[in-house]
Structure 1
Amino acid sequence: MFKKKALLVLLLSALFMFLVACGGDDSDSSAGDDNGSSSDDGGSSETSNEPITYHYFIGTAGDDINSNETTIGKMLEDETGVNFQTEYLVGDLMEKIGVMIAGGEYPDVVIPDHAIEMMLEAEAFIPLNDLLEEHGPNILEMYSEYIDRFTMPDGNIYYLPISPSINEHVPNPNIDQGAFWIQRGVLKDAGFPEITTLDEYLALIKDYTDKNPEVDGMKTVPFTGLTYDTSFFTFSNTPNHLAGFPNDGSVQIDMDTHEASVYADKDEAKAYLKALNELNAEGYLDQEMFVMNNDDFLAKISSGRVLGFFGYGWQWNTAATTLDEAGNPDHEFMALPIVLEEGIKDQYLEPAAFTQNRGVGITVNAEHPERIIQYWDKLIQEETQRLIMWGEEGTHYSVNEEGRFYHTAEQVELNKDQDMRDEYGMTLYSWNWPRLSGSFSDGNAIEPRRQPEVALETYDEHDREYLDAYGIKTFSELFSQPEDRPWYPAWSANIEQGSDMALFASRAEELQKRYYPQIVLSDPANFESEWESFVNEYRALDGLETYENFFTETVKARIEGNWQYR
């Protein structure tokens, strides 16, 4: 189809040039001037700065805003004439994208999140190859190492993944990914014990609950979790982490053979569900764990009465902020690298990663798409990224004699001000746009939260009480360093909608959503029979072997350097 379109464009271009030639008068402005574009000596193009507003749909929850309502957005509008009216998701993502496709009407720019395959199949995105070559030199430079990873089999690029890592990978001094979290006061009460296994973790929580059945007049919630809707992966992923694997999705990759295998019915999944089943029978499991939504979960964490849960740091950072502002440091949480049993090396810290099957695309409805690319090309430059991530030198951050960025005590407080971050544009541009990860060319971390100097300055005396108790300088030092996984993350492989793999993944998730809560909440006497029922149905699903083989082949292809749309 795209070859036919390209041929049509070529024919129309030839016809246009013929008509121009026949016109005989070349004293007027060129055709390039008519559409507002011209080329300079460097080969890049400049377009008209006439004001234009594009509709930018983002397939996650958020607050709608015009980009020019922020300091950075207004600066970019002054340079380019471009403003974006953002629209965040309300309701079900797949339904929203489905309505767009059915009507053939799209916002100018779309981040479809996990519905990206639907957009690609509907041919809703335009190819970006020529636009990038002509208008996106900085994008091509920053994404150079990764271009082949999101180039489609037809040779076209239809979207830009959000966060290519440049220069050096900088691990986070704090935990923003998966971990077992425990209320700090529980650790203090027990004398700051070193605990590594699930049994030790749960025993600590149960002991504290027995001594403290209420927290500030509210009933203590010993252990809870996030299981709602698309967040169910948080619950189903947990056994994988307990077994010493990072988040490769629904499969584990053997470090020696590089073979992929599902783990939903493995011993580690059974062990975790059995531990929760016993916790429930003893009255220590949150009875709302399988019925509350994400907002309910965050509100419960924010209340200060939850002692422990498994989750990814980015999922509950708003609750963490609420707890910090509440002023009781013992109600804040500390991340622990819990495993099933002694001898398992935790792998919660993520290695360098590139998520290739998520991104932002320009739709067929967008007029003058070159202006969007030019805007993104300015956005991706180090100078702009520094403004987005760090702000202005002397105001939002400082620089020491070695050229290292840091925050003074006053700047720490300033950067906590959410209104400031919203108004400046840090919130808007921190994700869901082409942006960078890793480090700048001067060696500073692109994200302040990954700069050790910043982390150390943000710790107050209460943080240091726990850091000192465990003999560490940053909280991530409790965790093992990540092993090199050149394929990571496996879940970023693109699975074709309607394929055997996609059908298996959907049916497997449905089965887990139905059985896992049932197994956990069952009478302990029925645990084995409930588990066996799940295993039998799971193993009977069509496509399981095909699914595993697909990821095995994907991993091996990536190790060999072949990432093309895999």
Structure 2
Amino acid sequence: MAKKLFLTCMAAVLVFTAACSKENNGNNASPSAAGSSPAASESASPSEAPKDKVTFSYFNGVANAPDVNTNETTIGKVLEDQTGVNFKMEHLVGELKAKIGTMIASNNYPDVINPDAGIDQLLDAGAFIPLNDLIEKYPNIKRVYGPYLNQMKAADGNIYFIPFSSQVGEYTPDPEINQGAFWVQRRVLKEAGYPKIKTLDEYTKLIEDFVAKHKDEDLTGLITLTHDWRFFATSNVPMHLDGYPNDGNVEVDMTTFEAKTYYTTDSTKRWLQKLNDLNSKGLFDKASFVDNYDQYIAKLSSKKVVGFFDYGWQSGNARNLLIDAARQDPTQDDFVYFPMPLTWDGDKDQLLDPAGFVKNRGIGISVSAKDPERIMEYWDTLLKEENQVLRSWGIKGETYEVDDKGRFYRTAEQIKKIDEPFNLSFGFRYYAWDWPQYGTNSTLSDGNALAPLYQPEVFQMRLTDADKTILDKYGVKTYSELFAKPDNRPWYPAWGIPKAQGSAEQIWETTKDEVTKKYYPKLVLAKPADFEKVWGEYVAAFGKLDTAGYEKWYTEQIKAAIEAAK
């Protein structure tokens, strides 16, 4: 199942707050949907937070940071002072499905859970309490999520979790690349004279030539990410090469709005055959099919991997380390990765996300929670605009400044100090995603961008001389200018359309995952002479799925979303 966390990923917002670049997944609703509520319309929580302090357990189903008590961070301590609430955060170690299965079997849950791709398991087990009545008590939650409350309801009419972001204010574009891209080390482009690469063939030829010239460096030409639910980082690629954004398992025709899967198309065959060819030449890392996420990040950080496809929010942990190193030592800039928009024919890409609202991922309160109202009070307090500024910009005079026109900015010294260790200690890393919050592309009531790196003044200020040089070589001032502007898609993202528990659509996705995870390694690692044979076996196995029914259901949902948006 394709992911996005979006999201907007956790890591996506990291780059906004960090001195370096990066959920995933631009994953918010239309600019005006929730944008009419200024900070002045914020309301206090229904009652003063009790003076006594309490700690709740919080399981985060993404392995994106060390475990922590939120009050050990600067942001978390401020919020504890306001609410009396601390969260003991546990992050995923090992397999998500197994971890959640253990919770369900014991019927003993953390107070709060962000299950990510395991959300269906928990919903099916009845692990979350309904939030409908509680939401009514908390004005800031209603202010931010009000336009989407109906979309957040399950089939039984209950709301069991709160999505991670909601567009507030005007839609602010992202100058960085936090969504899909084909990444390559900057030194490769420098050595080749900064060529304009537009197709996959040009990209792989560039990598092949570079590795051949640097045989003594023990380089890996290309790796892919396949671990657990992150398998989409490999399986989504044909969709993007076809010129579509991350709609998950389908490509949606912009004229007929028909949804079609792509897993047995010529495009997927070409992508897997390209990986097979690279493998036969010793340019592909075979361990891509067995490495876990941490091993993948370690390899990207090693300076030995020349290129890869992934989403900015998902690869940011590695790329930020390289960026930090280059800031300390400019000679290390050669190893920083540069994003490239590729398609099969070099025509218009759609790698940047259009505005959207992801409603099948979020954070919920479990049936084991000791005091749901205290948790909701915390979330409501977090959604005050002053605290959204805190979790994104930080503290005035410490991590940002305000000029005489009211514009937020960061000094060179502040940008330099906000590295990955600072992100952890201050709490930017922990509050970048995984909580109820304003969408990343949101604008504050005073017109400032919510995300620091979406603020033009900050983006330009944080650029190093090396950044400016390579951007100038490609005739742009921001990384996103390299990519085509996203077309409006009222249904976006299609993967975020909820599916009923045990439905035919859900079963199709589960079976599809099983088939692709079984055959993709075989196809990529097969002898080139055996590829056609294995492809035939794969297509036969895939043919047992009711793909026509799945496409019909998706087409109906997409057309309904278009009608609802009129």
Q: Say whether the fold is shared (TM-score over 0.5).
A: yes
Asked if 1:371 is matched to 2:371, the reply is: no
Assess if the C-alpha contact under 8 Å between 1:49 and 1:79 holds in 2: no
Asked if 1:212 is matched to 2:214, the reply is: yes
* Equivalent residue number for residue 13 of structure 1: none
Please give the TM-score of this superposition, normalised by the length of structure 1.
Answer: 0.87
* Structure 1: distance between partners of 2:544 and 2:479: 43
Q: 1:385 is matched with which residue: 374, 388, 393?
A: 388
* Structure 1: distance between partners of 2:195 and 2:565: 46
* Equivalent residue number for residue 88 of structure 2: 85
Secondary structure at the aligned position of 1:545 is classed as helix
Higher relative contact order (CA 8 A, sep 6+): 2
Letter in 1 for 2:133: D
CA gap 1:367/1:310 in 2 versus in 1, 3 angstroms: same
Q: 2:452 is matched with which residue: 448, 455, 478?
A: 448
Letter in 2 for 1:561: A
Asked if 1:491 is matched to 2:495, the reply is: yes
Q: Deviations over 1:219-242 (max 9, x none)?
A: 121122112222211000011111
Structure 1 residue 43 displacement after superposition: 9.5
CA gap 1:229/1:159 in 2 versus in 1, 3 angstroms: closer
* Equivalent residue number for residue 233 of structure 1: 232
* Structure 1: distance between partners of 2:461 and 2:360: 36
CA gap 1:484/1:562 in 2 versus in 1, 3 angstroms: closer
Letter in 1 for 2:222: F
* Equivalent residue number for residue 415 of structure 2: 412
Secondary structure at the aligned position of 1:214 is classed as helix
For structure 1, which segment, 323-332 or 429-438, has the greater mean C-alpha deviation from structure 2 after superposition?
Answer: 323-332
Secondary structure at the aligned position of 2:147 is classed as coil
Secondary structure at the aligned position of 1:357 is classed as coil
Asked if 1:338 is matched to 2:342, the reply is: yes
* Equivalent residue number for residue 354 of structure 1: 357
Assess if the C-alpha contact under 8 Å between 2:299 and 2:305 holds in 1: yes
Asked if 1:275 is matched to 2:279, the reply is: no
For structure 1, which segment, 82-91 or 456-465, has the greater mean C-alpha deviation from structure 2 after superposition?
Answer: 82-91
Map of 1:180-195 to 2, 5 A cutoff? 180-195=182-197
* Equivalent residue number for residue 168 of structure 2: 166
Letter in 1 for 2:291: M
Q: 1:521 is matched with which residue: 522, 525, 539?
A: 525
Structure 1 residue 193 displacement after superposition: 0.9
* Structure 2: distance between partners of 1:250 and 1:377: 34
* Structure 2: distance between partners of 1:333 and 1:226: 16
CA gap 1:297/1:214 in 2 versus in 1, 3 angstroms: farther
Secondary structure at the aligned position of 1:143 is classed as helix
Structure 1 residue 185 displacement after superposition: 0.9
* Equivalent residue number for residue 482 of structure 2: 478
Q: Deviations over 1:276-319 (max 9, x none)?
A: 22222233222333232222222222121221111111222222
Q: 2:508 is matched with which residue: 504, 511, 520?
A: 504
* Structure 2: distance between partners of 1:51 and 1:294: 36
For structure 1, which segment, 553-562 or 303-312, has the greater mean C-alpha deviation from structure 2 after superposition?
Answer: 553-562
Assess if the C-alpha contact under 8 Å between 1:227 and 1:289 holds in 2: yes
Structure 1 residue 137 displacement after superposition: 0.1
Assess if the C-alpha contact under 8 Å between 2:56 and 2:86 holds in 1: yes
Structure 1 residue 370 displacement after superposition: 1.5
* Equivalent residue number for residue 560 of structure 1: 563
Asked if 1:308 is matched to 2:307, the reply is: yes
* Structure 2: distance between partners of 1:43 and 1:214: 63
* Equivalent residue number for residue 299 of structure 1: 298
CA gap 1:419/1:310 in 2 versus in 1, 3 angstroms: closer
Assess if the C-alpha contact under 8 Å between 1:49 and 1:82 holds in 2: no
Assess if the C-alpha contact under 8 Å between 1:224 and 1:289 holds in 2: yes
Letter in 1 for 2:73: T
* Structure 2: distance between partners of 1:283 and 1:72: 47
* Equivalent residue number for residue 20 of structure 1: none
Map of 1:534-549 to 2, 5 A cutoff? 534-541=538-545, 543-549=546-552
Structure 1 residue 562 displacement after superposition: 7.9
Asked if 1:154 is matched to 2:153, the reply is: no
Structure 1 residue 146 displacement after superposition: 1.3
Letter in 2 for 1:548: E
Asked if 1:110 is matched to 2:113, the reply is: yes
Structure 1 residue 92 displacement after superposition: 2.2
Asked if 1:73 is matched to 2:72, the reply is: no
* Structure 1: distance between partners of 2:222 and 2:107: 46
Structure 1 residue 498 displacement after superposition: 2.7
* Structure 1: distance between partners of 2:292 and 2:112: 29
* Structure 2: distance between partners of 1:498 and 1:147: 24
List gaps (5 residues or longer) in structure 2.
1-42
* Structure 1: distance between partners of 2:384 and 2:176: 27
Q: Deviations over 1:241-286 (max 9, x none)?
A: 1110111111111111111111011111111112222222233222
Q: Deviations over 1:134-181 (max 9, x none)?
A: 2x1011001112111112233322211111111122222111111101
Structure 1 residue 192 displacement after superposition: 0.8
Structure 1 residue 47 displacement after superposition: 5.2
Structure 1 residue 487 displacement after superposition: 0.6
For structure 1, which segment, 257-266 or 46-55, has the greater mean C-alpha deviation from structure 2 after superposition?
Answer: 46-55
* Structure 2: distance between partners of 1:89 and 1:518: 28
Letter in 2 for 1:420: F
Q: Deviations over 1:389-439 (max 9, x none)?
A: 1011222112234322222111111222x3333232222222111111211
Secondary structure at the aligned position of 1:329 is classed as helix
- Using the aligned pairs only, state the percent identity: 47
Structure 1 residue 499 displacement after superposition: 2.3
Assess if the C-alpha contact under 8 Å between 2:250 and 2:259 holds in 1: yes
* Equivalent residue number for residue 62 of structure 2: 60
* Equivalent residue number for residue 467 of structure 1: 471
* Structure 1: distance between partners of 2:290 and 2:50: 53
* Structure 2: distance between partners of 1:340 and 1:288: 26
* Structure 2: distance between partners of 1:292 and 1:43: 46
Structure 1 residue 521 displacement after superposition: 2.0
Asked if 1:402 is matched to 2:401, the reply is: no
Secondary structure at the aligned position of 1:45 is classed as coil
* Equivalent residue number for residue 22 of structure 2: none
* Equivalent residue number for residue 23 of structure 2: none
Q: Deviations over 1:455-474 (max 9, x none)?
A: 21111111111111111101
* Structure 2: distance between partners of 1:51 and 1:184: 50
* Equivalent residue number for residue 138 of structure 1: 140
Letter in 2 for 1:58: N
* Structure 1: distance between partners of 2:228 and 2:565: 34
* Structure 1: distance between partners of 2:258 and 2:530: 34
Q: Once superposed, what is the RMSD of the aligned Cα atoms?
A: 2.0
* Structure 1: distance between partners of 2:104 and 2:348: 46
CA gap 1:203/1:137 in 2 versus in 1, 3 angstroms: same
